[in-house]
Chain A
Amino acid sequence: MDMNVSMVNGTNVITLNGRFDAFEAPPLIKWFEDNVTKEQADVVVDLGGVNFLDSAALASLVKGMKRCRERGGDLVICNLQQAVRIIFELTGLHKAFVIAETREAALSA
Chain B
Amino acid sequence: MVYHNYEHWKTTPNTGEPFLSIVIPAYNEEIRIIPTIGAIASHVSDLGFPWELIIADDGSKDSTVKITQELGFVNMRVLIAEKNGGKGSAVRRGMLAARGKYVLFADADNSTPIEEVTKLIAKLDTEGFDVAVGSRAAEGASEGKKSLMRHILSGGLRTIVRYGLRIKVRDTQCGFKMYTREAARKLHTAQTIDGFSFDLEVLYLAFKLGYKVAEVPVSWIDAPGSKVNARKEVQRFVKDIFRILSNDLKGVYTQRLAADAHSDSVHVPA
Contacts and interface: CB of A to CB of B under 8 A. Distances in A.
B78 interface: no
Given A81-B1, A82-B1, A90-B71, A21 B38 contact: no
A54 interface: yes
Contacts of A22: 223-225
B31 A55 contact: yes
Contacts of B109: 54
B145 A23 contact: yes
Given A82-B1, A82-B42, A56 B37 contact: no
A77 B109 CA distance: 24
B223 A86 contact: no
Contacts of B113: 19, 51-52
A91 B35 contact: yes
B241 interface: no
Given A82-B1, A82-B6, A83-B42, A91 B223 contact: no
B32 interface: yes
A79 to B, nearest CB: 13
Contacts of B223: 21-22, 54
Interface string A37-69: 000000000000001111110100000000000
B224 A83 contact: no
A90 B34 contact: yes
B110 A52 contact: yes
A56 B32 CA distance: 9
A48 B58 CA distance: 35
Nearest to B7: A86
B41 A86 contact: yes
Nearest to B37: A90
Given A52-B113, A54-B223, A87 B145 contact: no
A23 B221 CA distance: 11
Contacts of B266: none
- Please list the 6 inter-chain residue pairs (A to B) with the smallest Cβ-Cβ separation, ordered nearest first: A22-B224, A87-B38, A83-B42, A82-B1, A86-B38, A86-B42
Interface of B: 1-3, 6, 31-32, 34-35, 37-39, 41-43, 46, 71, 109-110, 113, 115, 144-145, 221, 223-225
Given A55-B32, A55-B34, 10 more contacts: A52-B39, A52-B110, A55-B31, A82-B2, A83-B42, A86-B6, A86-B41, A87-B34, A87-B35, A90-B37
26 contacts: A21-B221, A22-B224, A22-B225, A23-B224, A51-B113, A51-B115, A52-B35, A52-B39, A53-B35, A54-B110, A54-B223, A55-B31, A55-B32, A58-B35, A82-B2, A82-B6, A82-B42, A82-B46, A83-B38, A83-B43, A85-B3, A86-B38, A87-B38, A87-B39, A90-B34, A91-B34
